[in-house]
């Protein structure tokens, strides 16, 4: 066994995923980051080393299993999984075609299923934890004017996460979700930077990537050992 816990984190090259990777590394985790495109790759390699950076499209069948096996071959263990990826789309339901819906489903839902399926045995062995990314307001089942397809995929992920949490809890594996609200950062959707939207947030401001990363690191930590199947919103009261 390695001296440090090992985490596999998708979407690690930028945004909230990168913030999570940096925080966990600062807390002593050995971070293995997954990225899909070459964007951000060099920065990841400089931060974590080439042997801890994996290029893969997790929407492709079998890709998640291959990445998990690469991590296990290198480390011999896997203690945490963070699924911080997921395509975003803004458009009215009437403007959202079948191909777009399928793409959102693969990126946000099926990739999460594949990642847990690929890592389940290792997490059971280590008594580890998994955290999946949702979006604010899922529990309220609110209608959405412009993000219906995206929110529908995340809502499906929420139900699946809770169901997987029930199945894995007897095996010592904790599964939870983090749902960010409006978190302005480089690469975020344009509406994330909308000053009028930010003004409507009860806390009076947009969130910070570091605040989302703090929630993720807590859910992975022993401090959250009795937290199972929960959706932790990091949203400043947005969409309550």
Looking from the CA of 202 toward its CB, the CA atoms found within 13 Å total: 8
Contact criterion met (CB below 8 Å) for 118 and 64: yes
> Using CA atoms, how far apart are residues 18 and 60, in angstroms rounded to an integer?
22
Show the tokens assigned to 236: 């400043």
| CA Rg value for the chain | 17
> Using CA atoms, how far apart are residues 82 and 7, in angstroms rounded to an integer?
7
CB atoms within 10 A of CB 92: 12
Catalytic annotation on 150?
A: yes
Show the tokens assigned to 113: 């299923």
Catalytic annotation, pick one of 154, 162, 208, 226: 154
Catalytic annotation on 208?
A: no
Looking from the CA of 149 toward its CB, the CA atoms found within 13 Å total: 22
End-to-end CA distance of the chain: 43
26: helix, strand or coil: helix
Contact criterion met (CB below 8 Å) for 210 and 184: no
DSSP classification of residue 62: T
Contact criterion met (CB below 8 Å) for 180 and 210: no
Residues 6+ apart with CB under 8 A from 38: 55
Catalytic annotation, pick one of 150, 162, 208, 226: 150
Kindly list the catalytic residues. 150, 154
């Amino acid at each position: 066994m390695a001296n440090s816990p090992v985490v596999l984190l998708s979407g690690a090259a930028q945004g909230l995923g990168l913030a999570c990777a940096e925080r966990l590394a600062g807390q002593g985790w050995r971070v293995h980051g997954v990225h899909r495109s070459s964007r951000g790759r060099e920065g990841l390699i400089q931060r974590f080393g080439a042997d801890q950076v994996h290029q893969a499209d997790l929407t492709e069948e079998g890709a998640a299993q291959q990445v998990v096996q690469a991590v296990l071959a290198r480390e011999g263990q896997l203690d945490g999984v963070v699924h911080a990826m997921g395509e975003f789309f803004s458009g009215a339901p009437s403007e959202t075609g079948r191909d777009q819906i399928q793409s959102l489903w693969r990126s946000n839902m099926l990739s999460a299923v594949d990642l847990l399926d690929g890592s389940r045995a290792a997490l059971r062995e280590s008594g580890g934890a998994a955290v999946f990314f949702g979006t604010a307001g899922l529990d309220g089942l609110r209608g959405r004017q412009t993000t219906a397809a995206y929110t529908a995929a995340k809502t499906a992920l929420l139900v699946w996460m809770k169901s997987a949490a029930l199945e894995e809890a007897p095996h010592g594996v904790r599964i939870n979700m983090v749902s960010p609200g409006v978190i302005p950062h480089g690469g975020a959707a344009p509406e994330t930077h909308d000053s009028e939207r930010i003004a409507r947030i009860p806390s009076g401001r947009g969130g910070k990537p570091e605040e989302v990363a703090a929630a993720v690191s807590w859910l992975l930590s022993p401090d959250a050992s009795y937290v199972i199947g929960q959706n932790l919103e990091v949203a400043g009261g947005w969409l309550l």
